Structure 1
Amino acid sequence: MELKIDSKDIDFHQLIEYSLNSIWIVEQEGNIRYCNKACLKLLNITSSKDILYQNLYSFLPPDFHAVSKERLKRVIEKQEIVELLEQEMIRGDGEIVDIEVMAAPFYLEGKVLAQVIIQDITQRKMAEKLLTDREKLVSIGQIATGIAHEVKNPLTAVKGFLQLLKESKFHPYLDMMESELEKALATLQNLLQVSKPDLHEESLVPIDLCQELESLLFLFQERLYNVKLEMDLRDSERKIIGKRNLFLKAFFNLIKNAIEAIQDTGKIKIEHYYQNEWIHIKVSDTGVGIPEDKVKMLGTPFFSTKSEGTGLGLTQVFTTIHKHGGNISVHSTIGKGTTFHIQLPVR
């Protein structure tokens, strides 16, 4: 039997209140008259009292104020439905999230207001970035592997002839030449390992990252004399499945970089917690920081912010995380420090 529902019987307030999308009703000046439950969740705010009668623009970065005012004016004065637009929003805890927003006229008590409909697209943007990063790393890895093979073969031949020369004739520079040649070959070998980490036939095992992080810190005891270390390791019962040695090497590189980023005294904080089906690991330092234009280059072989760095350490970190289905993001401020935020799926 077909169920017929008269629109008069529908509680539209209930539909809006429990919508999966965040919905605001706002005045032309941007004052918020109503928000639904999804809006509270998006903004990480517990009570609507902290939102109602606040100004919309206090939740938007300054870069988006002008375009938002223009769109709001079109909705209320011209009663247009404005198209979807990607922008950012500031949550109650200060975190920036990516959103998609549209607006339409809303009529109340003879006044025209704007119904603003917001969808959180943070996870989608993260997935798009992850796909782009993976494609970039695959392409770079293929190029790097080819170059490494081409360069390694003649260098190995040179090393062989150099050893023969040392046996037949002594010269003080020969040892230095051999030492520098060994460094070059070691760099190429590292590049090959980073480009194709699965060359190590290592089995997948359950990994307790809290335990592994604590054990790694013992390797840095003598370098932590001028660095305050803060550990916040929660949800230790949550484990991931992966290649243990690759993860040990990745987190060793991250902690080493954090220590080297601190010039005199400073602090390193390591966090581990479980949230929304992901294990989160954050490695933060109060070091020199990384310029914004260079952050997006991190993970690329031979790109480094250090004068004598090769960038292969961070390339190994990014490759390992992506190979295990994880995400990695970097937030840095010059003079204040850097945070590497890693997310790994729990299986």
Structure 2
Amino acid sequence: MIVEEQELDFQQLLDFSLDAIFVIKENEIIYANKSALDLLGGNSQQEILNEKFQKYLHPDYYFVCKERLKKVRERLHIAELLEQRIIRKDGEIIDVEVMATPYKFKGEILAQVIIRDITLRKKAEKRLYDAEKLSAIGEIAAGVAHEIKNPLTAITGFLQLLKSEIEHPYLDIISNELDNALSTLTNLLQVAKPDLDNEPSITFNLCLELERLLFLFQDQFYRVEIEKRLSDKEQKIMGKKNLLLKAFFNLLKNAFEAIEDKGKIILEHYFKDGFIHIKISDTGVGIPEDKIKKLGTPFFSTKSEGTGMGLTQVFHTIHTHGGTIDIQSEVGKGTDFLIKIPLL
């Protein structure tokens, strides 16, 4: 059945389009549909209408957007899809795809701008990239670790035989250093090919397990204050329990170690938008901004005696469970780790 054109409510199609649609006159917004309002985080169209479109553009895209809109209006040019970033009313910066087409209205050529929020897609792409990067690093690291571990194991065996025949204080030092080297290689191999990866996924209460993990650090409670902000305590997740608990143990261990004297750790747990959110905040030494992006890379650590293996295991585990990790830190004030894990 062919629907007659007059039967269609084109205004309703525009108003409730899934894509954000703006009509721009010069640089002024004269129309914005409901999705556009949601995209910018406005409460009413009056907040947006007659405002400058440039106000919501990330500064990096001012010039390119101005030139694209100029071509649309003056040359009736169709501006193809382009990835950009815009700034919502609350200051949040989001990734979007933008295209623009000429729009005739009362003898004037205006620009119809169509914007699609791709923030979730970009985050998914980043998770995939990070997972592939960790996988590649893991394969290389595993090969190197095996080649090094075998001769070290042989040396350790012969050293034990030597210690049974000769007494010398240096032999104990050599033995301890070999043990440390082998321990580091074992950790590296576990991250590259974790022993716990084969454990089955089960449904369990992560909030309850986090509280139990805290008690493993009770010898530190005399100097570190613990604040628990635990909501949605009965919410359960599906995952590899032991692998996840090892990851959160490493995060808590890092938080305690980051506090050199006295300080505070805040543990948060809540459910939102289909994800369990866990936030671990400490008032420790903090991490320089240029080093945050390197966290999770094997052998990179902000600690003088660290190997970076702990955080590598954390990133690997969270990503394989479809989760994300965001890190905020300020030197001298502390660090926040925000982990999001989907329920299924």
Common fold, TM-score beyond 0.5?
yes
Question: Hey, what does 2:194 align to over in structure 1?
Answer: 197
Structure 1 runs of 4+ aligned residues shifted over 6 Å read none
Question: Hey, what does 1:85 align to over in structure 2?
Answer: 82
Matched, 1:73 2:76: no
Bigger mean CA offset, 327-336 vs 157-166: 327-336
Among candidates 3, 15, 18, match of residue 20 of structure 1: 18
Matched, 1:245 2:242: yes
CA offset digits 1:119-148 (Å, max 9, x no partner): 111111112111111111111111111111
Q: Distance in 2 between matches of 1:209 and 1:36?
A: 41
Distance 1:91-1:220 versus aligned 2 partners, 3 A rule? farther
Question: Hey, what does 1:3 align to over in structure 2?
Answer: 2
Q: Is the 8 A contact 2:85 2:96 kept in 1?
A: yes
After TM superposition, list the pairs within 5 Å mapping 1:196-215 onto structure 2. 196-199=193-196, 201-215=198-212
After TM superposition, list the pairs within 5 Å mapping 1:308-347 onto structure 2. 308-332=305-329, 337-347=334-344
Q: Distance in 1 between matches of 2:210 and 2:87?
A: 32
- Post-superposition shift, 1:36? 1.5
Bigger mean CA offset, 174-183 vs 224-233: 224-233
Give the aligned residue type for 1:181. Answer: L
Aligned residues: 344
Question: Hey, what does 1:98 align to over in structure 2?
Answer: 95
Among candidates 148, 152, 155, match of residue 155 of structure 1: 152
Task: Give 5+ residue unaligned stretches, structure 1.
Answer: none
Distance 1:140-1:36 versus aligned 2 partners, 3 A rule? same
Q: Distance in 2 between matches of 1:307 and 1:89?
A: 40
Distance 1:224-1:72 versus aligned 2 partners, 3 A rule? farther
CA offset digits 1:208-261 (Å, max 9, x no partner): 122222222233345456656544333333211122221111112122323444
CA offset digits 1:126-180 (Å, max 9, x no partner): 1211111111111111111111111111111111111111111111111111111
When the two structures are superposed, what TM-score results if normalisation uses the length of structure 1?
Answer: 0.89
Percent identity over paired residues: 59
Q: Distance in 2 between matches of 1:4 and 1:69?
A: 39
Q: What SS class does the counterpart of residue 43 from structure 2 fall into? A: coil
Give the aligned residue type for 2:24. Answer: V
Give the aligned residue type for 2:69. Answer: L
Q: Distance in 2 between matches of 1:158 and 1:121?
A: 55
Task: Give 5+ residue unaligned stretches, structure 2.
Answer: none
Q: Distance in 2 between matches of 1:161 and 1:12?
A: 84
Q: Is the 8 A contact 1:197 1:320 kept in 2?
A: no
Q: Is the 8 A contact 1:268 1:284 kept in 2?
A: yes
Q: Is the 8 A contact 1:98 1:122 kept in 2?
A: yes
Q: What SS class does the counterpart of residue 22 from structure 2 fall into? A: strand
Give the aligned residue type for 1:5. Answer: E
Q: Distance in 2 between matches of 1:202 and 1:280?
A: 23
